[in-house]
Homo-oligomer: A and B are copies of this chain.
C-alpha cells in the first residue's frame, strides 16, 4: 500500500480552476465541521478524491495545500494529509446534530432548571418541592449540625460511606440484586454514575442502544461521549425485541442504557419475558446493559430488574435519591461487576476527587430512621391520585395517554389531529408553561405528536385552562 506523493502543481490557475479548488476546500471543511472527518483522521487520498469529486489530481493537491496553509489539515510526508487538532473548542452542538432549540434535550433541561416565579412545569422530570420530605431534611440537618466533625469537613472515602453502602446492599437484595457493599460505589448523582460508566466503557464512535423514547439526557450524555446513538422502539412491555436483535447485528453496540422498572418517559414496565430475551441477546452479543433505576422507590408492584436476573455479570445497576428525597442533596450509586469497581473508583477520583460524604450521611440518616419509607408511601398514594386526575383533565382537551402507568409521575400522551408538540411547547412557554415535547425523548424524531406530563407538576388549574386554549388554537 503506497501512498502517492503528488508534487505537481499547476503553473497558473484560471477562474474555473479557482472554482473547483474552492469546491474541494468547501467539501473538506464541511466534512470536518460535520465530524465525518475528525481531528487526526486521514483525508481521502489525492487520487481517490480526484475521482470522487470529478476533478484533476492537481486541483485536489492545490486545495489540500491551501487547507494545510490555513492550519485546518496537515501533511505528513509519506503518509498523506490529516485533519489537524481543533483550535476552536468543541461544543455539544458541534458533536451532535443541532436540533431546533425548542426540541433540544438540553433546552428542556435548562428551562426546567431555571427559576421563574409563577412558571408551571408539567414537563419537568421531578417532584415539586412541596412533595419532598422537607421536615425530615430539616431535622436531619439539625442532627448533622451537632454530629461528627469529619462529616462536616472531610472528603468521603473512595467508595463512599460504608454504612450507606451496607444499607443499599440490603435494599438491593429486596429487589433480588445480590450486591455486597464492596460492589457498590457512591457517586454525586445517577447522571454522574452513568457518565463514569460511559467514560469507562466507550470510545468515540462506539454504538449505544437507547429506547425510543428515552430519558432525554441520555442523548445529551451520549453526544458528549461522541457515541453513535442507536434507538430501538419501546413497547409497553420493554424494547421491541426483534428490532433490538436487528440493531445488535447491524451496529454491534457496546452498551444499552435503559430504565427497567419505571420507564422514563412512558411509565411502562419491562415484562419478565422481554427481560429474559434481552439478557439472552446481551450474552450472545457480549453487550453491557446499564439499568438506570432511579425511580425504584416509586413503583407499587415490583417489576423485574435486569441486574437481578443477570447477577451483575453484564448488567450495571444505577440508583439515586435526587427524585425521591432531594435534588439538592446529591447522592447516587453504581452497582457493577466486581472487577470493574476498582477502575471506576480510580476514574471517579481522577475526575471529581472525593465524594460527598455529607450528602451520604444525610441520605443514610433519613433511610435509617424510617422517615424515607413513610415519605415514599405518601408520595405513591398522592401520585396515584394525581395520575387519575391528570388523565381525566387532559382527556377533556383530547390529550390521551399511550398507556396508563401502574406507578410513577409520568404520563406519555398523544396529541390529537397531528398537532405538533414542539410548536405547542413553544407557545406554552410564552404563557409561562414548560412542556416536554415528545421529540426531545426520541432520537428517531418519531414522537412529534407526544408530550410527557409529570402528574405531580400538573396540579394547577391554570395549566388545564391554558392547555385547552392552546389546543383549540392549534386545531384551527
- On A, residues with C-beta under 8 Å from B are 1, 3, 38-40, 45, 47-48, 85-87, 89-93, 106, 109-110, 113-115, 126, 129-130, 132, 134, 137-139, 141-142, 144-146, 149-158, 188-189, 191-192, 195, 199-201, 203-206, 217, 220-221, 223-224, 252, 254, 286, 322, 326-330, 340, 342-343, 345-347, 349-354, 356-358
Contact = CB atoms under 8 A, between A and B. Distances in A.
A206 B350 contact: no
A99 to B, nearest CB: 12
29 contacts: A1-B45, A39-B206, A85-B254, A86-B201, A86-B254, A89-B200, A89-B343, A91-B342, A91-B347, A106-B346, A109-B353, A110-B345, A114-B158, A129-B153, A129-B154, A132-B149, A137-B153, A138-B145, A142-B142, A152-B326, A154-B328, A188-B352, A189-B352, A189-B353, A217-B350, A328-B356, A328-B357, A328-B358, A330-B356
Contacts of A156: 113, 328
A152 B221 CA distance: 26
A327 B286 contact: no
A188 B330 CA distance: 10
Contacts of A328: 151-156, 356-358
> For the complex formed by this chain, how many copies does it contain in all?
2
B106 A134 contact: no
A440 to B, nearest CB: 13
A106 to B, nearest CB: 5
A358 B343 contact: no
Contact of A205 (B40, B139, B220, B254): B40
Nearest to A4: B1
A10 B347 CA distance: 46
B1 A47 contact: yes
Given A91-B342, A92-B347, 8 more contacts: A1-B1, A1-B48, A90-B200, A138-B146, A145-B145, A188-B188, A224-B351, A329-B358
